[in-house]
Structure 1
């Protein structure tokens, strides 16, 4: 090793020791910095123009009252000197005026103090004043005493040291530890583990309104820190969740740290999870065909950030992908589209057009209005053709290749077909009737809402999209549509930033975040070329080739019967799939049951009868 390498190694070692020392001191100074910042923020919020105006008025009134009090006092002295009789009218008047002026001065002084509290000095200026109050007398004392010996300059040194100590403590307390210490824990994790210890928690929890909760010894997992919390008395998991801010304050955790509170394995217990690390750290997110599951009925969505396990979702299920602009929605959808392309046929209906630029040389894409209408018509015609084929062969589920229709952006496509009732009905039927016929609809949107003038997904389509994955969305309304009854996962609270792109929640999987796979442009272009083409003129083809009994108009009874064959078991499910109102569904069900085409099971579910 030459001198240069030795010097570099020594410098790196020294730097590492310094950083480790700073990381060890950071948790000690963090409470001081937190209190400082909280007080500074409180003072800053009080310094409003209204409070300043009130302070200036109070100062003016107090100065005027002081002047009047001084004048009244002077007049009283003059009157006393002019007459020795205490009952003299002039002396009594001067005494009364002096008393009133002193009372006014006292009142305005109290008002001035209140105004100063309402418009306080900044914490920085207050600290400067405090240090100056110490430094100036100390400097004078040092100068006076330094004539005898040189050791009397210590007051100035102490004052300067206090200033430096204050600044250093603030810097350390606000610093974010980043290095790993010898035991594998960061300084932040050490602090959190210490405060999650049952002894510390029980001693300090009452101060934060958490009396009656007790933690278990915490453990560090691949996804961060986890510990159990025993809930005594009236405590519930929901009540503890509402106290998340108090828990963050008790732990001294940074604002950006994700804290999750879930139910334990038995009643009276909750699980507290702190995402100080991710199990996916250091793992590539790039998707390759090697990630295709052996089970053809599944496809890989991504990795669980807490356990590192691969998350699989049904391949032949209708899918809703939600995510605001910039959250990585297109990148997250690409691996799923590649899976559909390799296993069957893929049609991309791209309302915006940018994603189609990459896929247009690989699969069938539709961007312009005419192309989108044609793609919808052909997919619906293919679904109808497969229905006839399945009837001819006596099948209940399509046994051929799956045709996957991906719509991105849903809002643009809905705006295009909104005035076309027939084509909108075809989209609805694709979502409700296509699955059993091997035609599966995947819907992606930035605006997961079903109401308003520009919905991102139609209210008759959304109930049919059973598999739902959501990246970060704008608010609670979007979260409700994006994850349905799992909206409490709170995808609207996923942090912003590039490091969180492609991270989201899967309905029914649990409130554990998933990091999706990604596929770059070159990966898409390397896929085999296969462009699906359906019937060009579906209506004419049906009239020319289909038997006479298949060309009849589809009735409400046919739709109800198809919905039951597609898996619907209740009147509500049938109404959601067909778009018919409940009264019509009930009437048609009664007639179908009476005719023997359907029958009801013991639990009330509707199933196909012997004549179906």
Structure 2
């Protein structure tokens, strides 16, 4: 039994050599035709004749040289010319004979016997000579030669030995047993050439929680891209179902590929229902779902901007709810729902916005909260917000963009939320059925999409949507996820690898059980400090209250004005810079102070002048309008 196991283990290692032997033997056999044989015999005759003529010409040249001492004599010149012509004819006939031998080669067995005889005969003679002299190394030459012959014959026999994969796991289906047998190296090498896969060799396959996995050695000119392009041929060789998901990825070493067949799902025995217990202890991550190949829990950053894509019917809303519930439990959340159905479930739990005026108010208040936190962080001298996270969730971005695409102010604030809000604890999450950035109805704005670094995609419509949904990981091919209820909530995470993830799900009742927490913006200005001076107390043999010293007469000074409501961050920065100046300020100084682009400052100044917040003199200097003086 052990010897049989050892032979089964050695057979795949010798299979490539046996396959090359058979291929070479078959090539030689096909060349050994009657036509090539006649050409070889004719070439041999021509060569023998040419060689004879060359020998005669060389002899005549020697005779002419001996008969005349004059190298310019007609006899010697004639003999020399004839000798050269005969030599050229001989060389041409030799080249033709080589081609004829190549076209009619000896059989591979005869060639191997010739090679082995070349070393066997001398080694036998050497052993006989050493035996006659009584040398200690008497049998070594012949033994080494015999060992070489035996190794070649044994490798050929092992390579041709048919090995059938033994399926010991009774839990395997008939399909899995067939795939395991056809992935066996012996079967693969014997039939790979029929499908144009000659030069590839599999390793013994293994059954994993996510299906069948095996490595494939890529010999010769094969590389990963070329092997991936042969996926149809691989499926035909294995006899796999068209709907069976097959994945070809790179291995841990060059020259190898990993072939995975998703005959099972590692998430099959794990409940998909999300509960608050699934919120990780680490506050920086949240749980997305389960890896269907390994069964591992997949975590994503909690404080990162997120894009979730999925066509209608792929379970996008149910898959998105667990992430929203995590954001709701850990901080504050605002749901801006373009369609309204999802808001029906969440309106009793968190802040929702469905109608146009609700949407604009939610965008304005989230942007104002981001600006307020910026001032708070500056006053406290910190670079990252250390309070509760405010998560702004856009559900169906295509509808939201269609509603505000003509409102440039709201659109700009939404763009600033995606680009500036993360460090201030205001994080934008975006969900859409149409992950495209171009056209008349984009699902995500082209200036917002680059800021959404964490991307998860369920099945989408095509390659264009896949490119936006997963960016540089579009080769995961989310558009090729099979349709059907069993694949709802299944998708790919950018940067995680082309392994499918089954997300957690949360139904309507699960949402309603969450504790209510309706976010409202904080006051933008802190409470004023109490006026007047504190009373003074002198304690000496009793407690006497002394009246505070009289305040000096009030001197009227410049009045501090709060920033007008509804300004963007750029407009607020320009207005604050001009206010803080002692006098008129030049526009180029505003560019330096704010750090904004010249074009942005120019447009912002024009808008503030038109709104009456700034005054522009004839020399181009800027000053605050009446009532805009800072303290």
Same structural fold, with TM-score higher than 0.5 when normalized by the shorter chain: yes
Task: Give how far 1:534 is off.
Answer: 2.1
Match of 2:322 in 1: 335
Other structure's SS at 1:355 match: helix
Match of 1:259 in 2: 246
Structure 2 Cα separation of the partners of residues 200 and 582 of structure 1:
69
The aligned runs of 1:264-279 (5 Å cut-off) are 264-279=251-266
Match of 1:28 in 2: none
Unaligned runs of 5+ in 2: 1-166, 526-558, 575-593, 602-631
Task: Give how far 1:546 is off.
Answer: 7.1
Match of 1:200 in 2: 187
Structure 2 Cα separation of the partners of residues 274 and 462 of structure 1:
33
Match of 2:231 in 1: 244
Match of 2:410 in 1: 423
CA-to-aligned-CA distance 1:365-391 (integer Å, 9 cap, x gap) = 011111111100000000000000101
Confirm whether residue 406 of structure 1 aligns to residue 393 of structure 2: yes
Task: Give how far 1:235 is off.
Answer: 1.1
- Structure-2 change in CA distance of 1:277 and 1:583 (3 Å): farther
Structure 2 Cα separation of the partners of residues 558 and 209 of structure 1:
66
Task: Give how far 1:557 is off.
Answer: 12
- Structure-2 change in CA distance of 1:551 and 1:506 (3 Å): closer
Which of 382, 394, 398 is residue 395 of structure 1 equivalent to?
A: 382
Match of 2:365 in 1: 378
> Over aligned residue pairs, what C-alpha RMSD do you find?
2.7
Task: Give how far 1:545 is off.
Answer: 8.6
Confirm whether residue 360 of structure 1 aligns to residue 347 of structure 2: yes
Aligned residues: 383
- Structure-2 change in CA distance of 1:193 and 1:297 (3 Å): same
Which of 309, 312, 323 is residue 310 of structure 2 equivalent to?
A: 323
Which of 464, 468, 472 is residue 477 of structure 1 equivalent to?
A: 464
Structure 2 Cα separation of the partners of residues 303 and 324 of structure 1:
21
Other structure's SS at 2:341 match: coil
- Structure-2 change in CA distance of 1:305 and 1:546 (3 Å): farther
Which of 448, 455, 460 is residue 435 of structure 2 equivalent to?
A: 448
Task: Give how far 1:415 is off.
Answer: 0.4
Structure 1 Cα separation of the partners of residues 232 and 374 of structure 2:
56
- Structure-2 change in CA distance of 1:549 and 1:390 (3 Å): farther
CA-to-aligned-CA distance 1:219-271 (integer Å, 9 cap, x gap) = 00000000001111111111111111100000000111000000110111100
Structure 2 Cα separation of the partners of residues 307 and 256 of structure 1:
21
Match of 1:313 in 2: 300
Runs of 4+ in 1 over 4 A off after TM superposition: 535-538, 544-559, 580-585
Which of 439, 453, 456 is residue 426 of structure 2 equivalent to?
A: 439
Q: Is the 8 A contact 1:381 1:535 kept in 2?
A: no
Q: Is the 8 A contact 1:447 1:455 kept in 2?
A: yes
- Structure-2 change in CA distance of 1:278 and 1:490 (3 Å): same
Structure 1 Cα separation of the partners of residues 239 and 204 of structure 2:
18
Match of 1:600 in 2: none
Structure 1 Cα separation of the partners of residues 565 and 222 of structure 2:
63
Structure number with greater Rg is 2
Structure 1 Cα separation of the partners of residues 407 and 212 of structure 2:
54
Task: Give how far 1:584 is off.
Answer: 7.7
- Structure-2 change in CA distance of 1:582 and 1:520 (3 Å): farther
CA-to-aligned-CA distance 1:314-367 (integer Å, 9 cap, x gap) = 000000000000000000100000000000001000001111110011000011
Which structure is higher in helix share?
1
Structure 1 Cα separation of the partners of residues 355 and 520 of structure 2:
17
- Structure-2 change in CA distance of 1:545 and 1:535 (3 Å): farther
Other structure's SS at 1:440 match: strand
CA-to-aligned-CA distance 1:536-587 (integer Å, 9 cap, x gap) = 999xxxxx9976799997549969xxxxxxxxxxxxxxxxxx9x999989xx
- Structure-2 change in CA distance of 1:360 and 1:237 (3 Å): same
- Structure-2 change in CA distance of 1:581 and 1:448 (3 Å): farther
Structure 2 Cα separation of the partners of residues 548 and 309 of structure 1:
51
Structure 1 Cα separation of the partners of residues 503 and 389 of structure 2:
23
What TM-score do the two structures reach when normalised by structure 2? 0.58
Q: Is the 8 A contact 2:473 2:495 kept in 1?
A: yes
Other structure's SS at 2:430 match: strand
Structure 2 Cα separation of the partners of residues 546 and 221 of structure 1:
68
- Structure-2 change in CA distance of 1:284 and 1:460 (3 Å): same
Structure 1 Cα separation of the partners of residues 560 and 489 of structure 2:
47
Confirm whether residue 486 of structure 1 aligns to residue 473 of structure 2: yes
Which of 507, 514, 517 is residue 530 of structure 1 equivalent to?
A: 517
- Structure-2 change in CA distance of 1:246 and 1:557 (3 Å): farther
Structure 2 Cα separation of the partners of residues 359 and 395 of structure 1:
34
Task: Give how far 1:496 is off.
Answer: 0.2
Other structure's SS at 1:480 match: helix
Structure 1 Cα separation of the partners of residues 278 and 520 of structure 2:
28
Q: Is the 8 A contact 1:378 1:535 kept in 2?
A: no
- Structure-2 change in CA distance of 1:341 and 1:423 (3 Å): same
